[in-house]
Structure 1
Amino acid sequence: MEMESWRFLPLAAYLILGTVVGKAGAGTGLYMGPYFPSHQPRNITVHQEAIAYLPCTVNQLGDKSVSWVRQRDADILTVDRYTFVRDDRLTVHFTPDTSTWTLVIKYVQERDAGAYECQISTEPKMAMLVHLNVIALMQVVTVASPTVPQVEVKGASDKYVRSGSTARLECKVSSTVQLPDYIFWYHLGERLLEYDNPRVKMTVSRRGGQGSEMSIISTLIISNAEPSDAGNYTCLPSNLHSATTLLHVLNGQYLPS
């Protein structure tokens, strides 16, 4: 039987072919090297003394490392899960489900503002810039209501619904001089997307007057709740800390009074 001609291609031809296929379809299942997904937050705004979360998602990392570098002094802050500076405010959090390396800065100061590079240890290095903007306390005091920004999932910390019913979670952001650009929802550490689950719907509404009197509410609705929907739900505004609630889906049990 005559063998197909492609089986006799030289090694160099396979390498060239692999490169072409990789450029045409990164993420199709073949490992073609790490890359940054295009839709990622690049500007983060937080209040002084709050917690800053700078996320960096890297797909197909393979055996490479991810580092966070502060651009103003070129200090290497973290490499993979390890912190390399003597600043207890800085840590890195890795979320395996989304392949996201998040630089966490606690008690943010004005000096923390600036650009941060998320680097991949390729040759040459690949980098993505994330800009951190810090709203000083002086700016907050000049507003009519100098209260601390609040992020909360409304209601009790534990919520109960019957299997087959509708679960409704509301995340409220208030007392902030700058409303978030977006609010993401996560279930067990994995970001929720409407197009991934037809039973999930998210809406956003604004309320109040001017400045810190304004608030924004993100509502997560889960139709026909299933046991797999149970667990921790976290809402994360683009410029503030997160808030979490625990959802219980009961199958035949009585709802707590």
Structure 2
Amino acid sequence: MITLLIYLAPLAGVILTLPQELLPGLVDSAELQYGGIESGQTASDSTGTGASLSSLWSYSTVTEDRYDHALHGDQHELTPYFQDYDNTTNITAQLGSTAYLNCRVNRLRDKTVSWVRRDGSKIKLLTWGLHTYSNDARYSLSFEHPNNWKLQIKYTQRRDQGTYECQVSTHPPKVLSVRLNIVAPVVEIIDERGASVQEKFYKTGSTIELKCTISQMPQAQTFILWRHGDHMLNYDTSRGGISVKTDMSSSVIVSTLFIANATPTDSGNYTCSLGDVATGSVLVHVLNGEHPAAMQHGSGTKDLCSLSLVLVLAVLTTLLNTLHASHAR
């Protein structure tokens, strides 16, 4: 009897949670199956009724499924769905960085998530489940617990821009479309007035000051690299008097290079770069004696003299042609 009670205990819990309309059928069925079992007799000894504990357990399982259906409705409604449908459809990544395309799927169950690249009517499979099927090693599936089937694209290039789809293997498939935009930072070296400059003049003994601006950066980055030819200046301690100041107070990053006590050996090409993504350059001249402004002024004077000479020659040519015409008559 004690053994029978132990087996019937789980069934009692199920019965207590059933809707009232299901109770009569369950009671009748229990009476039918256990009516022929006498005291001290096990279910396996009963004959005639075909009753057994296993059949009763099967019945209780079916009843639980019906009860779950009564509570939750049609099981076809419990299909997978995207958690952040409206928030993950447009991604902007910086050229050369790592892009992450999120796809959070709830209630996935036995379905599979895949990523494809759509280019017009062409579709290219990138991942299926946890496996990567792209020949491009930059693509991989980076699953993030508990439900984010995240596509990772390393060292983004301009050709990576386009439409990607996260698909769930339902019938028909559920699709989350993600647009990836690739933005290349703009690097410029500017003068004191903020205008882009490609050449600058300094006097020996003065301080070289080069200002570099970086804009259109979707990902914050503070490391700006300065070079003089092939020589990196950011951590140069051999020359002395070199310093770099970076300001991120606005949406545009400004990096300023200072070189004290300039000499003619400091002349050459200077570059300001953001890794291998974008670079700006300026040609620096360090002059002995003559002030840069005087040099630029002298250059302007030479240009004016050349123009005057051309005008004089044109007038002389016209006069000679006129005299020649008069003699011909």
Under a length normalisation based on structure 2, what TM-score does the superposition of the two structures give?
A: 0.39
Q: Tell me the TM-score normalised to structure 1 length.
A: 0.49
More strand as a share of residues: 1
Larger Rg: 2
Higher relative contact order (CA 8 A, sep 6+): 1
Name the structure with the higher helix share. 2
